[in-house]
A = this chain, B = another copy of it.
């Protein structure tokens, strides 16, 4: 594919520069709506936020812009701008309009819901996560039209902006299943992630999947005296500990039989690309609030968090929890485990593997229950996939021809539901950087990067049209 003509690059830049102030005014308006989805007192704000966005998108030219109700949750926004070419591919952009809680008392320098621009940064809750990264698409699509002379986008463009992402997307799967025909797309572009750093523009290629379970172990019918009975009956707290300890072997590989079946091992090229990223262990540890790295032997830290499956103890509880001691053998103990999954793993198979494994680890006299809380599939768009290359090209154009590197996300997200329900590859376009402070006080977005994101978005539809049609 040919490089983007300089004229198009210039037109996009000029268009965005010319609409910069108006865009920031709109974004500030939206950021003033405290759409905190986890706080019931902000339910109307989340609703107002959805209404604001639908109105904004309609005003930006989207022929369709609707508020979609969820079943008892916060509303989402759906918008559509069909291409003028009926044969064009369809792309669905995903983002969210709800935000994390924020209060001055948490350590904000300014009111989190009164946006402030300072030193080229816009400070507000939601500036980066995710209102800024949603809204740049409304500027981007108009820049795209300006640069191409089109009256409609090069792809059938759809936007789905949910209102419950910060609350764990409890109604998202049902929502997209209900609307799967209208949401049908050839690719999904998730606009809710970030880049490696200000100076290293990157494209994310996938997220890990997730399986979560709770295992309850029952021993004595009631707490019993550890003097009278200690050493002679099985202790469910000890059993829980042994089960958690048995999750890993001495190489810190997950020791559950079958766990690694199907795992897509990193290729040499993938490992090389990851190794080339300017990784600084000290600053990574600072971001992890941790004193040391630790994990599967034979893999680097980035490989471990991006491309290797894990088993983690999220919670463990059994017996006496108060001050001092209490000499009991507890009646029960609970383990909360989560497994991060990578391409090639299936949460249903992992569930079966765990269910098969647990009873093999229990002594006589310990009964158990196990429940799985739900699952998220991993998603990964392999290096070399034309749609991924299209995103990288759009980013490179925005970043003055810079080489675009590839990252992954260790977390799991509703992107996987879109991948599942729509059977479409998931791509990621994000310009946030680690210093933006997602979920933290003084969240901000770098204005330069925000407009680079709009530039990349403006170039993306032409790139994807070529990639998805080929």
Contact = CB atoms under 8 A, between A and B. Distances in A.
Contacts of A313: 235, 237-238, 241, 318-319
B326 A230 contact: no
Interface in A146-181: none
A324 interface: yes
A294 B364 contact: yes
Contact of A232 (B210, B213, B301): B301
Interface string A313-345: 111111111001111111101101010100000
A305 interface: yes
Contacts of A329: 312, 314
A466 interface: no
B316 A319 contact: yes
A219 interface: yes
A296 interface: yes
Contacts of A314: 226, 237, 319-320, 325-330
B316 A229 contact: no
A272 interface: no
Chain A, interface residues (CB within 8 Å), range: 35 or more
Interface string A284-312: 01001111111110000100110011101
Which of A227, A228, A248, A340 has most chain B Cβ within 10 Å?
A227
Interface string A364-400: 1111000001000000000000000000000000000
A225 interface: yes
Interface stretch (A113-121, A256-264, A405-413, A421-429): A405-413
A222 interface: yes
Interface in A238-274: 238, 240-248
Q: Identify which of A235, A243, A327 gathers the most chain B CB atoms within 10 Å of its CB.
A: A327
A363 interface: yes
A226 B319 contact: no
B317 A321 contact: yes
Contact of A365 (B230, B248, B291): B291
A224 interface: yes
A229 B290 contact: yes
A212 interface: yes
A338 to B, nearest CB: 5
Contacts of A290: 219-221, 224, 229, 233-234, 365
A317 B234 CA distance: 19
Contacts of A237: 244, 313-316
A235 B304 CA distance: 14
A231 interface: yes
Contact of A363 (B294, B315, B327): B294
Nearest to A291: B365
A228 B411 contact: yes
A96 B290 CA distance: 51
Contacts of A200: none
Given A222-B289, A230-B340, A235-B313, 5 more contacts: A213-B325, A228-B410, A231-B308, A238-B247, A313-B319
8 tightest A-B CB contacts, nearest first: A227-B411, A292-B365, A241-B244, A231-B310, A245-B245, A315-B319, A315-B320, A292-B364
22 contacts: A214-B325, A220-B289, A224-B288, A227-B409, A227-B412, A228-B305, A229-B288, A230-B310, A232-B295, A232-B301, A233-B285, A233-B293, A234-B290, A235-B312, A237-B316, A238-B245, A238-B248, A238-B313, A314-B319, A316-B317, A317-B317, A319-B336
